[in-house]
Structures are given as structure tokens and as C-alpha cells.
């Protein structure tokens, strides 16, 4: 083989190697992607069938229930327009609580319950995950009055 042919073979192998590495990297990233859906979108079946995805909103007051095993909890997540029941087995974050913002990653079951593999809660008093804030804002803009606004208007009406 001439030197020129050797260089062409080397360049060809390098291109194939880079292409293979890029394909492996993209397939690894694709398997770790979890898209975000609001409870409204979940109830409208806009979520993927049996793929992992994230759902977020506010934990509905008085829905947090511990199961007999002590590790499994059930609670409802709302965007103030729709509510999705969630089941999670594991230790909840310290800042998790009713009325707080939450994002759960998992799959929807045949029974309509979202089975979470991971639950993330806001990390301080003023922070809300951007997806949750957008979802709540969209629900409010679409004409749904959130519980805070409703309770404020009831308080104002009682004072008159």
C-alpha cells in the first residue's frame, strides 16, 4: 500500500470510530430522557405509554397517606386543573410536604396511578421547579382559580 492509501484508510477508520462513539453517546442520552407532563396532560393521555416521564405540581392537602409497610406513601399532585394520584416507595425528601411543589419521575400504571421512582421537592421556601411554576401559571391563565386566590376572595367577602 502506498502512503496515500494508508492515510485514507486511517481517516476512514477515524470517521467510523467517531460515528460509532457519537451513536453510543446519543443512545445513552436518549434512554435517560424523562419528559415533563402536567397532571392535565397526564389525564388527557398525552404522556408516553409505558416510558418513564416526570409529572409535577402541588401536593394536594390531606392526601398524604403512609401505607402499612412504612415506606410506601400515596399522595395526589395537582396543577389546579387536574389531579393525579401518585404512589412512591422510599424515603421522601426533607422538604416534601402537602401544599408544596413536587416533581416525580416514574411511570403511569394501568390503574391510573403514577408509580414514582424518584420524588424531588423544592429546596427552599421561595423556590418552585420551573416546570411546576409554568404548569400552575398555565392552569391559572386557562381560567382555573387556584386555592390561594379562592381563599383570599372568600376572606375579603366575609369582611364586607
| Alpha-carbon distances of 14 from 23, 24, 27, rounded to whole Å | 14, 15, 20
**88 assigned binding-site residue:** no
Q: Do 132 and 117 contact (CB within 8 A), yes or no?
A: no
List per-residue pLDDT tens for the chain, 160 residues long.
788 888 888 899 999 999 999 888 888 776 666 688 888 888 888 877 778 888 888 889 999 898 888 889 999 999 888 899 999 999 888 888 888 888 999 998 888 899 999 998 865 555 556 666 676 666 655 544 444 444 334 444 444 4
- Tally of CB atoms within 10 A around 97: 16
Give me the residue spans of the domains in the chain: 1-33, 36-158
**123 assigned binding-site residue:** yes
pLDDT in the model for residue 68: 86
Q: Does domain 36-158 have CATH number 3.40.50.720?
A: no
pLDDT in the model for residue 131: 66
Query: Could you tell me the pTM of the whole model?
Result: 0.62
Alpha helices by DSSP H, listed for the chain, are 3-32, 39-43, 130-141, 147-158
pLDDT in the model for residue 158: 45
Amino acid at each position: 500500500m502506498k502512503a496515500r492509501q494508508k492515510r485514507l484508510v486511517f481517516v476512514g477508520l477515524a470517521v467510523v470510530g467517531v460515528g460509532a462513539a457519537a451513536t453510543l453517546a446519543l443512545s445513552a442520552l436518549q434512554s435517560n430522557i424523562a419528559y415533563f407532563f402536567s397532571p392535565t396532560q397526564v389525564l388527557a393521555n398525552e404522556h408516553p405509554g409505558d416510558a418513564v416521564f416526570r409529572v409535577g405540581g402541588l401536593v394536594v392537602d390531606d392526601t398524604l397517606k403512609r401505607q402499612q409497610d412504612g415506606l410506601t406513601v400515596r399522595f395526589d399532585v395537582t396543577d389546579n386543573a387536574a389531579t393525579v394520584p401518585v404512589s412512591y416507595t422510599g424515603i421522601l425528601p426533607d422538604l416534601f410536604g402537602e401544599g408544596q411543589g413536587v416533581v416525580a419521575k416514574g411511570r403511569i400504571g394501568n390503574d391510573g396511578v403514577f408509580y414514582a421512582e424518584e420524588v424531588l421537592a423544592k429546596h427552599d421556601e421561595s423556590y418552585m421547579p420551573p416546570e411546576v411554576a409554568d404548569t400552575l401559571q398555565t392552569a391559572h391563565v386557562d381560567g382555573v382559580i387556584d386555592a390561594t386566590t379562592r381563599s383570599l376572595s372568600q376572606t375579603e367577602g366575609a369582611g364586607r
